[in-house]
Amino acid sequence: PRSWHRGCSRCSSTSSTVPAPTEPSLPDQTTTPVTPGATDTVVYTVSGTGRVINITYVDTGGLLQTEFNVMLPWTREVSLPEPAERSASVSIINVGREVTCSITVNGTEVQQREGAGLTVCAAARR
């Protein structure tokens, strides 16, 4: 009755060896370590004359906020997770008039642009 086990590949007493998992290699990181919960102070500024149709910016919660029919000059201060250069952004939609937008992170200007129509300042490092 045990003879049916002989030659049965499923019943073999030899065990297969599974290679041990290897640790994935991490890419070289040249960025400064980030302290959890640390924030940067970001100041958005839009200058010009009159009103713009709207201004959209990344707020303290990391969400986009839009203000409509905005009188210039306009300034907002927010706190963004370090490094704020990755997320700070302000966009202006206006008609006809030149505007200047700038983004300052911890007192250092990281972006300034001029334009009419759609003007975007984004501090993102490339």
Please report whether residue 2 resides in a domain: no
What is the pLDDT at residue 48?
Answer: 96
Neighbours of 29 (CB within 10 A): 7
Say which amino acid occupies 105.
V
What is the pLDDT at residue 61?
Answer: 85
Q: What is the CATH number of the domain that holds 67?
A: 2.60.40.2880
Average pLDDT over residues 109-124: 91
pLDDT over 50 at 13, yes or no: no
**DSSP codes of every residue in the chain:** --GGGTT-GGG-SPPPPPPPPPPPPPPP--SPP--TT-EEEEEEEEE-SSEEEEEEEE-TTS-EEEEEEEESSEEEEEEEESPGGGT-EEEEE-SSS-EEEEEEETTEEEEEEEESSEEEEE----
Of 119 and 32, which is predicted with more confidence?
119
What is the pLDDT at residue 34?
Answer: 54
Please report whether residue 16 resides in a domain: no
CA dihedral 66, 69, 72, 73 (to 10 degrees): -20
Please report whether residue 14 resides in a domain: no
Number of domains in the chain: 1
Please report whether residue 108 resides in a domain: yes
Please report whether residue 102 resides in a domain: yes
pLDDT digits (tens, 9 = 90+) for 55-110: 999 999 899 999 999 999 999 999 999 998 889 999 999 988 899 999 999 999 99
Q: Which domain holds residue 48?
A: 39-126
Please report whether residue 88 resides in a domain: yes
What is the pLDDT at residue 21?
Answer: 53
